[in-house]
Structure 1
Amino acid sequence: MSGGELRPPGWTSNPSAWRQRLPIIALALLGTGIAGYLTLFQLGVVREVWEPFFGDGSRRILQSGISRILPIPDAALGALGYLLDAVTGIIGGTDRWKTSPWIVVFFGLAVGPLGAASIILVILQPVIFDTFCTLCLASAAISVLMIGPAMDEVLAALQHVKREGAAGRSMWRAFFGLGREDSQQAEAQAQ
């Protein structure tokens, strides 16, 4: 396939290209590291948490009752979410927007809610604790930076599924990457 065939119709770039996905994957791995470190603090493995700006803000937030609502540290959920982002970002080739829309949508569902949760947690910090957590803010920034590029790829995948349905082919088969031979034959006949 040439580079032009990898771009969704009407797009100027390929949202599944590695140059689009690698920054998201790198951010997800960085987020995994930060959230992993915060998890180690919450578990007591690391005695002090790095906090250059907000005094004991990080400690207060990370040891609060809110952070212990679940049976595992909330930072551990963040680490798992980031790891899921990285893994789903790696899966598939540069044409995955049309060969595996389901994984692209799953990727978007992993990235989007993590970003939304991060925004909510940042809003809660000054409201509930009257302080901030530097690494929590860094983690939230990472989550937000990942949303736009990830949603571009999701949009391309959903547009592909919609086009397949409009052409009279099964949207479910298109969503799961099945029946691509039929689509390719139809495209070849149209040219």
Structure 2
Amino acid sequence: MAKNESIDQIPPGWDYNPATWSQRIPIVILAFLGVIIATYLSLYQLDYIDTVWEPFFGDGSKTILNSKVSNVLPIPDAALGAIGYLVDAVTGVIGGTHRWKKMPWIVIVFGLAVGPLGFVSVLLVVFQPVLFSAWCTLCLGSAIISIAMIGPAMDEMLASLQYMQRAKRSEASTWKVFWGVQSEIEKVK
């Protein structure tokens, strides 16, 4: 147990609180870094800038960023990435260290924003050499950021889901517990 961490802040069965600021701030910082990278790539895809920085793979970034896969939706994939990272950052800073049980809704939104973005990043990295025989340095950097965020975000989401499961078993209103209206499931018994 970390200093200044009371026993009621730690989820039952855990030896630490996955909602502490020391757990979440690195994710938020990575998310803001992701916003910067994805916004930069979006500016290229939207023709606001003429070239994109690529130190290792020649025209690889241009090949990837101009591909049909990157532009399959009405807005470029990098713009969606920037929005996703922004959602990660915002949902990462909302709530205190009890949010796993007092705000399960935000923790679950946070986890659902981080998890799928990481999966999509891995998928897009696999596409680079397989479909286009090219690599994009900043795209790889973005994927590394997404993957690094998954573990800590999933820990907190798991703690909230376990709390929701305990609420259901104690016959508390899972709806009220989910929205934080009824945060102390022990009071229901």
Q: State TM-score, norm by structure 2.
A: 0.93
1:142 pairs with one of 126, 131, 145: 145
Residue 108 (structure 2) aligned to one of 98, 101, 105: 105
Q: Aligned partners of 2:171, 2:130: CA distance in 1, in Å?
A: 52
Query: Does the CA contact (< 8 Å) of 2:172 and 2:188 recur in 1?
Result: no
Q: Partners of 2:180 and 2:10 in 1: how far apart?
A: 17
Q: Is the contact between residue 56 and residue 137 of structure 2 (CA under 8 Å) also seen in structure 1?
A: yes
Q: 1:25-44 to 2 correspondence within 5 Å?
A: 25-44=28-47
Residue by residue over 1:167-191, the C-alpha shift from the partner in whole angstroms, topping out at 9 and shown as x without a partner, is 221222211112235x36469xxxx
The alpha carbon displacement at 1:43 in A equals: 1.4
Aligned-residue sequence identity (percent) comes to 58
Q: Residue 52 of structure 1 aligns with which residue?
A: 55
Q: Under a length normalisation based on structure 1, what TM-score does the superposition of the two structures give?
A: 0.92
Is 1:10 the counterpart of 2:13 in the alignment?
yes
Partner in structure 2 of residue 72 of structure 1: 75
**Structure 2 match to 1:96:** 99
For residues 13 and 71 of structure 2, what CA distance do their matches in structure 1 show? Answer: 48
Q: Distance in 1 between matches of 2:153 and 2:87?
A: 13
* Counterpart in the other structure of 1:174: 177
- Matches of 2:150 and 2:73 in 1, distance apart? 25
Higher deviation after alignment, 45-54 or 33-42: 45-54
- For 1:104 and 1:15, the matched residues in 2 are separated by 11
**1:136-179 Cα distance to aligned partner (Å, 9 max, x none):** 00000100110000000000001111111212212222111122
**Residues 1:154 and 2:149 are matched in the alignment:** no
The answer as to 2:105 corresponding to 1:83 is: no
Q: Structure 1 residues 167, 135: CA separation in 2 closer, same or farther (over 3 Å shift)?
A: same
Bigger proportion of residues as helix: 1
Could you say what the CA RMSD is over the residues aligned between the two structures, in angstroms? 1.6
Output the CA distance in 2 between the equivalents of 1:81 and 1:185: 37
Query: 2:135 corresponds to which residue?
Result: 132
Between 1:62-71 and 1:142-151, the stretch displaced more is: 62-71
Report the count of equivalent residues.
186
- List runs of 5+ in structure 1 lacking aligned partners: none
